[in-house]
Structures are given as C-alpha cells and as structure tokens.
C-alpha cells in the first residue's frame, strides 16, 4: 500500500478514507451553511440544505457586536505571549546547552516537571495570585500565566535543537570577544530559526485557542478574547444560531489563513516536540 | 507594578556559588542569569500555584473573606463525596475509551494518509481541517448540530439520528467521546503519517518478494516500526484526556445530571459555582498527582527515558 | 562587568514585556477597587450590572445621573448573568468590589452581611423603601452579625415572577383550556402529546429552570413554611412530605411525557425553551417574566397576534399553600460596598435613592415590558399596556401574592444551591428517586 509501483488498489482503505472524510466534512459544511442562513429560515429549512436565500446578515451581526475588538485582544495576548515565550525560552535553552553545571541541570529538570502538570489543576491558586497582584480582568492576567505554562515545552524543544549546533561555533564567538547577548542575537537566533518558528507557531495556537484562563481570569467585554467571545455570543444571541456559527467561522479564519500560507510551519508547530 | 522585585530577586539564589568554579565552564558558559526570566515566570505562575493548590486543599475559602485553616476536612469530604467518586470513574472511562477509539483510528488513518495515491493526498488536506478549530468552537458547533429540535437529526427524518444526544445521560458520554475523537484524531494521524513515512520502502519491497500481502505487511513491518510513535501518541492521548475541560464545558457543562462531569469539570464547578475552593483544590491536587504519575509511568514503560538521555548527551 | 550588563539587559527585557502587557490593557478599565481605576475625585463610584433584561433602563439612568452630577460620576461595567454570578463574589471577597453591588438578595446577601462587606441602608433608603411593595422590599432586610436587623439591599429593577407562558394556537388545536389545577395540567399534557407537540418546553441543560417546578409544587402542597425551614438550616428539613410529594409529581410529569424526551439538551441561555413555544414545537413553558422581551424580540408577530398566553402556576388539590403565591425573583437589588470610600458610598446611596425608581426610569421599565414593584402603579401600567394586558397581569399577580418566594438557588448558600441544581436535574432524568434526593440534600444542611 506504500508503493509507487502498480499495486491492487486497496478498496477497503479507500472506503474507510471516504467515510472518515464524511465525518469530518458534514459538521464543517453544517457550520458554513447555517452561518449563511437567514435567521428566520433557521427553524423552517432543512439544516443540511443549502440556504434558499443565503445572506451575510449573521456575519454583519457578529462584526457589529465587537468581534473585531475581541479579535484585537486575541492578537495582543497571542503576540505578546509568544514574543516573551520565545525570548525567555531561548535564553534559558542557551544556558542549558552551554553551561553544563549541576545548577543548570537542576533548572532543566524543574522545567521538565512542568510538562506533565495539567494546567487546569493550578487555576484556583493562579486566580488567587492574579487577584492579589491587582491584575484581575486585564490582558496581563492572560499573558503572564500563558508565558509560564509554555516555558517547559519550549525550552525542551529549543534545547534539543541547540544541542546539534557545533561547539566550535560558540567558541569562535567567544574568542571574538562577543558578549552573551551578541552571541544570542547573532548566532543562536539565526541558527535555531526552524525551531523558533515551530515553537512560536505551537504556542501561538495554544494561546489563541485557550479557554480556561480567559474564563476564570477575565470578565468584561474590554478584555474578552475570541474563544470566550464564542461562549458569550451563545448567551447573547439567544436563538440566533446562524450568528453564533458565523462567529465560529470568523474565529477559524485567521488560523485557516495561516494554514494556507504556511502549511508546513503550521503542521510542524502542531506536532512540536513529538517528532522522532 | 514593581518590576524590580521580579528581576532582582532571583539574583540572590542564582548567582554562581563562590565554590570551586567548574574548570571548563568558567570562560565559555553563559551566565545562569540568562535563564532567570524563564525561571521567574515559571516559578511565580506555575510552581508557586502548584504549592498553593496543595496548601489550599487544607483550607476552607468561599471566595469571600480570607482562606481559613481547615485541616483534613476537605480531604475527608471529597473522599466521601459520591459526586467526586463519580467524577473519578468518569475520568478513567473517558481516558480508557478515548484511547481505545482514537489510537486504532489514528493509526489506520495515518497509514492511509501516508499512501502515495493522489486522492489520498487530497483527503489528507481535508482531514486536517478539525485542527483549525478551537475546542470552544467545536463544542458550540456540535451543540447546535446535535440539537434534537433544530439540529441535523431532525432534518434527515431518520429517527435514530434525532435522539437527544446531549440531554440523555446514557448517550451524552458517548457523544462527548465522539466529539473528542473528531477534534483530536487528526492530530494523532499526523504523527502516525510522519512515522510511516520514515519506514524505509526497501523493507516493504523485501516483504513483497517474500509474498507477504498488504495485511501481513501491516502487522509485520508497519506496526513494529511505529512502536515509538504509538508510545508518544498514547502518552499525549492519555495525559490529554485528563485535561479535556473546555470542550466538555461548552458541550454539556458536565451534564445531563453529572453524566459528563469529569475531574477537571468537577474541580471548576466546585471552585467557581459552589465557591468551595478547598474541596476544589483537593480535586486539583489529585489531578496533578494523576498527571505526573501517568507521565512518569509511561516514560518508564517506553524504556527509553529520552529526557534524561538528552541531559547526558551533548 | 559582563554579568551586570546581562543583568541590565535582562531588567530591560522583563520591564519591556510587562510594559507591553500593561500598555495592552490600557483602556480596559480596571474594576474600581479601593485603589483601582482612576480614583480622581472623591465622590466617584463604580457599579456592576447585568446585560439583557432591563439593561437599557440602567444605562440611561446612569447617563442621567452622570449628566446631573459632574463631580460624583458613576462608571458602570456590564456582565452576562452567569459570568457575573461567578465574578462578583470574589470581587467582594478580595476587596475589589464595585461601590454598587447588583444582587438577588438571599443567601449571597446574607454572606456579604456576615462578612461586613456591605453597608446598612436602613436610614438613607427609607423614603425609597416606603414606595416599594412590602413583599418585594422585605428581601433586602437581613439579620446582621450583631443580632440586629438592617436593610442591606434595595430593589433596583422589575419584579420577575415565574409564569406559565403558552401557545394559544396549540391549545386550541388540542382542545385544551388553561390548566388551573395540577390534574388539569396532567390532562392537558396527555391531549397535547396526542397532537404530537411537546406539552411543556423545559431547558433541562441549564438546570435552573427545573427549580421552578419544585418551588411551585412544594409551595402549593405545603406552603412557604416548608422551604423556610430549609433556609433556616433545620436538620432534615428536606424530609418534609411536601418536598417528597413535589418530587413525585415531577417524576409523574416526566413519565407522562410532559417535557418531551429531549429536554436535557435544551438550554435556557440560548432561549431555546421559548423558541420551542413560538415555533409551535411546544405548547407551554414555565419561565421568569424576563423571557417576555425575548418573545417580543424573536417572535413579534406571534405576540402581536395574541397567540402568546400567560397564567399563574396551577393549584394542587388539597394543598396547604395559597394558589396566589408566586416564586421567582421579587426584583434585583443594589447593595453598597463597605470597602468603598465614604465619598463613593455617599454617591452610590444618593444615586439609588434618587434614580432607581424616578419617573423617567419607571416609564422606561414599562416600555421594555418590565414591571417595577412600586405601590400604586395601576394607572401608569394601564396606560403603558398593550392589548394582551400583560403588564397589568404581572403587576396584579405580584401585588396580590400573599408570599413571593425568592428562587431557591439564590436563597440558599452557594454550595447548597449547586448541590440542589445537580440533584434536581438527576430527579428529572430519573437517575435518582425522590428519597435519594432528600437524603443527598439533607446531607448539605450540616
């Protein structure tokens, strides 16, 4: 079944493949056609039929209901978190790879422990902490814990990558009298670009789609991000299901765009650290 | 907002000890300072809360006032609570069944996607689509899709499809497992696809010359070669299934009754609906221990403790 | 030398990250705590209120106030119902409470008072309290820790009795008249089922609409005293025969197919239960009066053509309770935070006395289909009413009710309320028997 040479087509596999496709596509098709359905036809028409009078009203309604603001919040939170994650993780990975002392090994082990902790489990103390810091219901309340929880895996992936950089390169930088920051900037960053992109994409997806932190740590419309906005639209648009599903479609568009532009990066980002 | 405390604090503990400096690292190693920001973030927002959750599990706090010392009260309350026991049993069920559903499906799909036929390449691109949706989006979409009055089931006029999928306690868990699979199988098939692609074609060539059929090739070559992929993917599935929160929260909120109230939901509802932060923290501690135990156990199982070997290497 | 350079750049980096994240939330108003937000002038106050319902009335009343009082501004934040309930408690607990705290009175208010989180309004609000129907206003009166009694909350919007809404067209088709007794209700259920419609829409996924049945049935069978004993925390108070009978009747309705076979996935937050009624899929729905604006917005023709009927919950033959009793939310309430500055407290008190039920506010309430719980409002309501007489019906129902029972989930402490919702939903799903429910709930009274 893996061969370029002519083999018997595997009928069973083909049937299975098409069946799974149906399972994947029907819900997505349903989301799309329903979001194009006029609100009044939602009760009357067959949910899977293409709408008789397709309309973009639902999209207009969502966009008029602050969707762009939530989108902006999501962008700010995601970009800030990812930038900070990359900066601090890259520095930490540099230390772990280059100074092999008992202390750095201890640091690395502490980070590894973090990979196995389910985030949800610490939400109550995080919540308490954020309130004590006076950050409740700010975007910073989402950014800071997001950074913290992304560090372990990011450091692990970057460390693995940096290990493969020949020692001589670092040494030659040191001989040239370059400081740590310059070495980081001029050598480590360019060399580890593929890993940095992977870690960046992976964490961007995590933060972008995160639901629990926004649910617990924010409350007002000013600080609402997209996943939470879907949840609140559901309450706001009472039985306006087309609008709710239009919001779902809009929430997927940015990632779809990313997928179309950089499919390989997105796939590698998704499967970050689980290869080999 | 004092940032100085964040930056100057760790210094006391991180500055290289005045003992015998490592002979080689003195010149070349970067200062440990560079790891400080990562450590500071991680300590403040991950390690401190981790300790905090243990401390809180021995306190009673109703969200008003200040936490009070309560001894082991919360622990005995949770142990005796049928709701918590139900949540634990459900979590185990979700974990086991998720794996039983997703692992074989992902493996077969991964093998399928690795095939060289044109149509498979096209299908693979479509198979990827669910990965673009956030869990909240998936939950909301399936909620309206499965609505017995206005959803797809009512439309097709097929009786067995118009069931009360999310409202019937005997069906809801199955539906949740299905939606979870819809969400996560694509990711795991990607892992398997990558794994299959790494198997040398020559092995299959040799097997075919020996007269092995498709099925035999699968069992004698593909499966053994995918051993590590299976372990990695299973670890992610099992640890992941402990933390399915957002999807179930949006889809059923733990209902109907308590039919889908798995541990993370139980924790959330105790903490943020009943305002009983103490018992919620007990459930949280339990989750942490479970997560760590499973990760470490699977790590042992796989024999190759990769994380350690990475430290030794270099 | 080099290390200090690294340290400097590190400090710059962390400061930068924090600066960006803080700058990012510029504009996201920090909920005013004692030191939150822009505490410029002394008299500035903050308020948190709910979206939906009579939101527009509150918004314009804040605008009027701020226009007239430039040196005592009130800034407001708006929340969805569920989110608000989860947030306000912690805000109050952490000293970040808004000056004006929106509530349902009941168990939560008692907790606030026990924690000294809210101030006694007895003197300041007396003139306002005198204008309000006593059965509604009395919810704001709480026994404080010192053993005295004080008014810690003042009504701030419309009365929200729970009523039986129905689709007149479906009733006519099935030859059903409005049920006035429980037996007539069972009979109607049978006739409507035979017609192939769901007799009663029930948002079982949201759980709280199920409370309305146990509340009404218990009250009709045993009177308000039964639940009073539960609130008082008397041991085994749930074992009252009236509770058991109410639960038995609930399961009888479920068995009779009163709620159809898919109530477990209907959600009230999305208005799915009222949609079932106006789309003709279900004949009745038992809901709070706050759903009337939903009917108006989502199915204007349905309401205007007189197809929407409404009635009080049926009586139960041989029951102790007065059939004129109602359950629901007598109103929502304002309390004033004890952690606010004296100046902010003064602003908040002045606002609630002057603006809460000013003439403009009353007119606006009536225009959105909401009925304020004020004494002597008959004429005004008759003027504002449409053909259906809905506003007058709601007003009179509230006025003549001997007892207005606050929703049980609000009246009880939070942990008991959540256990009640969970166990009740299992009764509706036939997962537990009435006796098991009673045992589980008695265990929460400890």
Range from A127-136, C234-243, C380-389 that averages highest in pLDDT: C234-243
Point out the residue among A127, A132, A232 whose CB comes nearest to the CB of C80: A232
Tokens of A110: 């502490």
Q: Which residues partner with C180 through β-bridges? A: none
Residue A54: inside a domain, yes or no? no
| Beta carbons of C262 and B272 less than 8 Å apart | no
Name the residue among B37, B65, B164 with its Cβ closest to that of C262: B164
Chain B residues closer than 8 Å to C2 by CB: 31
Helix H, strand E, coil C: the string for B14-52 is: HCCCCCCCCCCHHHHCCCHHHHHHHHHHHHHHHHHHHHH
> Hey, are the CB atoms on C204 and B273 less than 8 Å from each other?
no
Please tell me whether residues C296 and C341 are part of one structural domain.
Answer: no
Please indicate whether, in this complex, the C-beta atoms of C272 and B149 are within 8 angstroms of each other: yes
Same domain, C306 and C422: yes
**Per-residue pLDDT at A173 exceeds 80:** no
pLDDT digits (tens, 9 = 90+) for A35-63: 999 987 887 788 888 888 899 999 999 99
User: How is residue A163 written in tokens?
Assistant: 């290990």
Residues of A whose CB is below 8 A from C78:
220-221
pLDDT tens profile B125-139: 889 899 889 999 999
What residue numbers bound the domain in which C262 lies? 160-328+406-443
> pLDDT tens, A237-272?
766 889 999 999 999 998 888 888 877 777 777 776
Distance between CA atoms of residues C413 and B273, nearest Å: 11
Cβ-based interface (< 8 Å): residues of A facing C? 43, 76-77, 80, 83-84, 87, 127, 131-132, 134, 136-140, 143-144, 179-181, 219-223, 232, 234-239, 241, 244
What mean pLDDT do residues C378-403 have? 90
The pLDDT value recorded for residue B280 is 95
Residues of chain A positioned with their CB less than 8 A from the CB of B56: 124-125, 128
Percent pLDDT > 70 in chain B is: 83
Q: Which two tokens stand for residue A35?
A: 């979001």
Facing residue for C94 by CB, picked from A131, A181, A241: A131
Kindly report the pTM of this predicted structure: 0.84
Structure confidence by residue, pLDDT tens digits, C96-106: 789 999 999 99
What is the C-alpha separation between B275 and C415, in angstroms, rounded? 7
Indicate if the pLDDT at residue C235 is higher than 90: yes
Q: Say what the pLDDT of residue C25 is.
A: 31
* More confidently predicted of C416 and A48: C416
* pLDDT of C32 above 50: no
Say whether C20 and A236 touch across the interface (CB within 8 A). no
pLDDT of residue B29: 62
Helix axes of B82-114 and B169-197: crossing angle, nearest 10 degrees: 40
pLDDT higher than 60, residue A8: no
Q: 10 Å Cβ neighbour count for A43?
A: 16
What is the band of A190 on the pLDDT scale with cuts at 50, 70, 90?
A: confident
Binned average pLDDT, 10 residues per bin, chain B of 314 residues? 33 37 48 86 90 94 82 92 93 94 94 86 88 92 86 69 83 94 92 90 90 87 90 84 88 89 94 90 92 79 47 31
Average pLDDT of span C4-18: 41
Verify that C241 and C164 share a domain, yes or no: yes
The count of residues in chain B is 314
What are the tens digits of pLDDT across the range A91-113? 999 888 887 788 888 888 878 77
Same domain, C307 and C361: no
Residue C292 lies inside a defined structural domain of this protein: yes
Contact yes or no for B131 and A270 at CB 8 A: yes
Task: Confirm or reject contact between B281 and chain A (CB < 8 A).
Answer: yes
Long-range contacts, stretch A169-176, CB < 8 angstroms, 24+ apart: A170/A98, A170/B28, A171/B28, A174/B27, A174/B28
What CA–CA distance (Å, rounded) separates C410 from C407?
A: 5
**pLDDT attached to residue B157:** 64
Contact B310 A159 (CB under 8 A): yes
Nearest to B273 by CA among B116, B63, B117: B63
Q: Tell me which residue of C434, C423, C43 sits closest to C248, measured CA to CA.
A: C434
C-alpha–C-alpha distance, residues C191 and C176, integer Å: 7
**pLDDT above 60: residue C145:** yes
The separation between CA C259 and the C-alpha centre of its own chain, rounded to angstroms, equals 23
Alpha-carbon span C214 to C406, nearest angstrom: 13
**Do residue C279 and residue C147 come from a single domain?**
no
CATH number for the domain spanning A172: value is: 1.10.3720.10
Provide the shortest C-alpha distance from residue B127 to chain C (in Å).
29
Q: What angle do CA B289, B291, B297 make, to 5 degrees?
A: 95
What is residue A238's predicted lDDT score, i.e. its pLDDT?
A: 63
Q: C271 with C195, same domain?
A: yes
pLDDT for position B24: 42
CATH superfamily of B52-303: MetI-like (1.10.3720.10)
- Indicate yes or no: CB of C3 within 8 angstroms of CB of B31: yes
Distance CA B292, CA C229 (A): 46
Is the pLDDT reported for residue C81 higher than 60? yes
Tell me the average pLDDT across C160-187.
Answer: 96
Would you say residue C147 has pLDDT above 90? Answer: no
pLDDT at C16: 38
* Most A-contacting residue of C28, C48, C84, C279 (CB-CB within 10 A), to test interface: C28
A144-151: average pLDDT:
93
Q: In a mutagenesis test of the B interface, which of C95, C265, C338 is the best target, namely the one with the most B β-carbons within 10 Å?
A: C265
What is the least distance, in Å, from the CA of A59 to any CA of chain C?
18
Consecutive H or E run containing C141: strand C141-143
Angstroms from C261 CA to nearest CA on chain A = 19
Q: Does A151 touch chain B (CB under 8 A)?
A: yes
Closest among C215, C218, C241 to C406, alpha carbons compared: C215
What is the spatial distance between Cα C242 and Cα C219, in angstroms, rounded to a whole number?
A: 8
A10 touches chain B (CB under 8 A): yes
Of C263, C276, C415, the CB nearest to B275: C415
- Kindly state whether residue C181 falls inside one of the protein's structural domains: yes
Mean pLDDT of C399-424: 92
Find, among A272, A25, A265, A1, the residue nearest to B113 by Cα.
Answer: A1
Domain region containing A125 = 60-271
Average pLDDT over residues C18-39: 35
Phi-psi region of C228 (alpha: psi -120 to 50; beta: other; left: phi over 0): alpha
Nearest by CB to B255, from C10, C111, C207: name it.
C207
DSSP code string of C374-404: BTT-HHHHHHH--TT-HHHHHHHHHHH-S-E
Question: In this structure, is residue A225 part of a structural domain?
Answer: yes
Q: How many CA atoms lie within 13 A of C293 on its CB side?
A: 16
| CA C9/CA A102 separation, integer angstroms | 25
Contacts of A71 in chain C (CB under 8 A): none
Average pLDDT, chain C: 86
In the predicted model, is pLDDT for residue C36 greater than 70? no
The reply to whether A16 touches chain B by the CB within 8 Å rule is: yes
Q: Which residues in chain A have their CB less than 8 angstroms from residue B50's CB?
A: 117, 122, 125
Of A84, A127, A179, the CB nearest to C2: A179
User: Residue C315 has what DSSP assignment?
Assistant: B
Contact state of B37 with C18 under an 8 Å Cβ cutoff: no
Whether residue A146 is contained in a domain is answered as: yes
Judge whether A94 lies within some domain: yes
Q: In 3-state terms, what secondary structure has residue C407?
A: coil
Strand partners, C198: C282
Under an 8 A CB cutoff, do C431 and B169 touch?
yes
Q: What is the pLDDT of residue C73?
A: 94
> Residue C124: its pLDDT value, please?
92
Distance from CA of C146 to the nearest CA of A (A): 30
pLDDT exceeds 50 at position C17: no
CA–CA distance, B57 with B283 (Å, rounded to integer): 8
pLDDT, one tens digit per residue, over C130-143 is: 999 988 998 999 88
The shortest CB-CB distance from B45 to any of A47, A145, A241 is to A145
Q: Is residue A114 very low, low, confident or very high in pLDDT (cuts 50, 70, 90)?
A: confident
Closest C-alpha among C87, B42, B86, B303 to residue A91 = B42
Query: What whole-number distance in Å separates Cα of residue B179 and Cα of residue B173?
Result: 10
Please tell me whether residues C341 and C321 are part of one structural domain.
no
Contacts of B255 in chain C (CB under 8 A): 204-205, 207, 264, 425
Whole-number Å distance between alpha carbons of A98 and A102: 12
Answer whether B170 touches A (CB < 8 Å).
no
CATH code, domain carrying C420: 3.40.190.10
Q: Residue C40: its pLDDT value, please?
A: 38
| Of A192, A261, A259, A254, residue with least CA distance to A227 | A254
Domain count, chain A: 1
Question: Residue A205 has which token pair?
Answer: 């997806």
Residue A28 lies in a domain: no
> C400 lies in a domain?
no
**Which of A139, A144, A145 has the most C C-beta neighbours within 10 Å, making it the best mutation to test the interface with C?**
A139
CB B207 within 8 A of CB B217: yes
| Residue of chain C whose alpha carbon sits nearest to that of B63 | C90
In a domain, A41, yes or no: no
Q: What is the pLDDT of residue C171?
A: 96
At B7 the pLDDT is 31
Reply yes or no: is the peptide bond before residue B256 cis, omega within 30 of 0. yes
- Strand-strand pairing, C100-103 and C282-288: unpaired
pLDDT for the residue A68? 94
The percent helix, strand, coil of chain B (3-state, each to 5) is 70, 0, 25
Single out the residue of C414, C425, C419 nearest to residue C441, CA to CA: C419
Mean pLDDT, all residues of chain A: 85
Q: Which residue of A has its CA nearest to C82?
A: A235
Residue A72 falls inside a structural domain:
yes
Of C24, C80, C87, the CB nearest to A76: C24
Q: Which residues pair with C404 in a beta bridge?
A: C326
Chain centre distance of CA C169: 30
pLDDT for residue A163: 84
CA-based nearest residue in chain B for residue C12:
B7
**H-assigned helices in C25-120:** 55-68, 81-93, 106-114
Residues of C in contact with B257 (CB under 8 A): 422, 425-426, 429, 431
Give the residue-averaged pLDDT of C395-417.
92
Tell me, yes or no, if C95 comes closer than 8 A to chain A by beta carbon.
no
Q: Measured between beta carbons, which residues in chain A are less than 8 angstroms from residue C79?
A: 219-220
Residue A9 pLDDT grade (very low, low, confident, very high; cuts 50, 70, 90): low
**In this model, does residue C189 exceed pLDDT 90?**
yes
């Amino acid at each position: 079944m893996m061969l370029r040479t002519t083999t018997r087509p595997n009928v069973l596999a083909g049937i299975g493949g098409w069946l799974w496709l149906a399972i994947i596509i029907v819900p997505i098709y349903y989301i799309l056609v329903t979001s194009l359905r006029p609100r009044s036809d939602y009760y009357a028409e067959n949910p899977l039929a293409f709408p008789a009078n397709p309309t973009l009203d639902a999209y207009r309604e969502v966009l008029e209901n602050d969707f762009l603001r939530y989108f902006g919040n999501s962008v700010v939170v995601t970009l800030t978190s990812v930038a900070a994650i990359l900066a601090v993780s890259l520095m930490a990975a540099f230390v772990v790879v280059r100074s092999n002392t008992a202390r750095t090994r201890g640091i690395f082990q502490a980070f590894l422990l973090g990979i196995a902790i389910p985030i949800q489990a610490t939400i109550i103390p995080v919540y308490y902490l954020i309130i004590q810091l006076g950050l409740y219901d700010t975007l910073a309340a989402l950014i800071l814990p997001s950074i913290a929880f992304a560090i372990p895996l990011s450091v692990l992936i970057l460390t693995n990558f940096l290990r493969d950089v020949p020692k001589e390169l670092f040494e030659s930088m040191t001989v040239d009298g370059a400081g740590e920051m310059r070495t980081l900037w001029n050598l480590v960053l360019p060399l580890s670009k593929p890993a940095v992109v992977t870690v960046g994409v992976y964490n961007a997806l995590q933060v972008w789609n995160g639901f629990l932190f926004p649910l617990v740590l924010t409350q007002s419309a000013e600080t609402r991000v997209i996943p939470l906005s879907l949840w609140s639209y559901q309450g706001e648009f009472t039985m306006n299901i087309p609008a709710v599903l239009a919001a779902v479609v809009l929430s997927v568009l940015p990632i779809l765009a990313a997928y179309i532009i950089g499919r390989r990066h997105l796939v590698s980002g998704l499967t970050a650290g689980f290869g080999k | 907002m004092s940032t100085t405390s964040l930056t100057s604090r760790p210094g006391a503990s991180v500055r290289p000890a005045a003992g015998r400096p490592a002979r080689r690292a003195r010149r070349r190693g970067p200062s440990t300072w560079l790891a400080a920001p990562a450590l500071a973030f991680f300590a403040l927002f991950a390690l401190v809360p981790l300790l905090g959750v243990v401390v809180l599990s021995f306190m009673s706090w109703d969200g008003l006032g200040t936490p009070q010392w309560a001894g082991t009260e919360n622990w005995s309350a949770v142990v005796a609570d049928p709701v918590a026991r139900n949540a634990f049993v459900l979590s185990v069920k979700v974990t086991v069944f998720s794996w039983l559903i997703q692992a074989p499906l992902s493996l077969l799909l991964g093998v399928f996607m690795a095939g060289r036929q044109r149509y498979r390449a096209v299908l693979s691109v479509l198979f990827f689509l669910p990965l673009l949706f956030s869990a909240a989006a998936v939950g909301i979409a399936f909620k309206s899709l499965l609505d017995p009055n206005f959803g797809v089931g009512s439309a097709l006029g097929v009786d067995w499809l118009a069931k009360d999928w999310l409202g019937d306690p005997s069906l809801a868990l199955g539906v949740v497992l299905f939606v979870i699979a819809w969400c996560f199988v694509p990711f795991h098939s990607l892992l398997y696809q990558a794994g299959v692609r790494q198997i040398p074609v020559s092995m299959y060539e040799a097997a075919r010359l020996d007269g092995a059929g498709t099925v035999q090739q699968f069992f004698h070559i593909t499966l053994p070669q995918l051993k590590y992929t299976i372990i990695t993917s299973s670890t992610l599935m099992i640890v992941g299934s402990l933390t399915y929160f957002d999807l179930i929260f949006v889809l059923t909120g733990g209902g109907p009754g308590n039919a889908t109230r798995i541990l993370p939901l139980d924790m959330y509802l105790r903490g943020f609906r009943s305002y009983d932060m103490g018992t919620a923290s007990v459930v949280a501690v339990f989750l942490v221990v479970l997560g760590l135990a499973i990760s470490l156990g699977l790590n042992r199982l796989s024999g190759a403790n990769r994380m350690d070997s990475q430290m030794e290497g270099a | 030398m080099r290390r200090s350079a690294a340290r400097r750049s590190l400090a710059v980096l962390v400061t930068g990250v924090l600066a960006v994240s803080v700058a990012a939330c510029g504009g996201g108003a920090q909920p005013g705590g004692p030191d939150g937000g822009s505490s410029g002038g002394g008299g500035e106050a903050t308020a948190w209120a709910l979206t939906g319902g009579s939101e527009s009335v509150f918004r314009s009343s804040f605008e009027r106030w701020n226009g007239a009082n430039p040196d005592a501004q009130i800034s407001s934040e708006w929340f969805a119902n569920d989110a608000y309930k989860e947030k306000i408690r912690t805000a109050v607990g952490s000293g970040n409470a808004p000056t004006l705290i929106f509530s349902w009175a009941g168990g939560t208010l008692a907790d606030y008072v026990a924690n000294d989180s809210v101030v006694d309004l007895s003197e300041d609000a007396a003139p306002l309290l005198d204008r309000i129907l006593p059965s509604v206003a009395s919810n704001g009166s709480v026994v404080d820790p010192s053993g005295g009694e004080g008014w810690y909350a003042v009504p701030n919007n419309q009365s929200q009795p729970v009523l039986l809404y129905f689709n007149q067209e479906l009733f006519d088709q099935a030859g059903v008249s409005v049920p006035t007794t429980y037996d007539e209700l069972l009979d109607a259920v049978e006739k409507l089922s035979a017609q192939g419609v769901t007799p009663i829409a029930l948002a079982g996924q949201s759980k709280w609409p199920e409370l309305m049945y146990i509340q009404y049935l218990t009250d009709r069978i045993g009177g308000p005293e039964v639940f009073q004993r539960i609130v008082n925390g008397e041991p085994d108070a749930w074992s009252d025969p009236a509770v058991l009978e109410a639960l038995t009747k609930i399961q009888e309705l479920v068995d009779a197919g009163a709620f159809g076979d898919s109530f477990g996935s209907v959600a009230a937050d999305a208005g799915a239960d009222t949609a079932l009624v106006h789309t003709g899929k279900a004949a009745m729905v038992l809901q709070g009066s706050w759903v009337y604006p939903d009917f108006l917005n989502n199915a204007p023709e349905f309401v205007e053509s007189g197809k929407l009927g409404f009635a009080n919950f049926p009586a139960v033959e041989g029951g102790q309770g007065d059939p004129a009793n109602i359950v629901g939310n007598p109103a929502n309430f304002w309390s004033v935070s004890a952690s606010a500055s004296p100046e902010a407290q003064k602003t908040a008190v002045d606002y609630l006395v002057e603006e809460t039920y000013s003439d403009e506010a009353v007119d606006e309430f009536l225009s959105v289909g909401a009925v304020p719980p004020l004494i002597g409002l008959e004429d005004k309501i008759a003027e504002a009413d449409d053909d259906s007489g809905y506003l007058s019906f709601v007003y009179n129902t509230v006025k003549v009710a001997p007892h207005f029972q606050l929703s049980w989930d609000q009246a009880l402490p939070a942990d008991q309320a959540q256990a009640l919702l969970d166990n009740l939903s299992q009764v509706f799903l036939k997962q537990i028997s009435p006796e098991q429910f009673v045992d589980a709930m008695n265990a929460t009274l400890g």
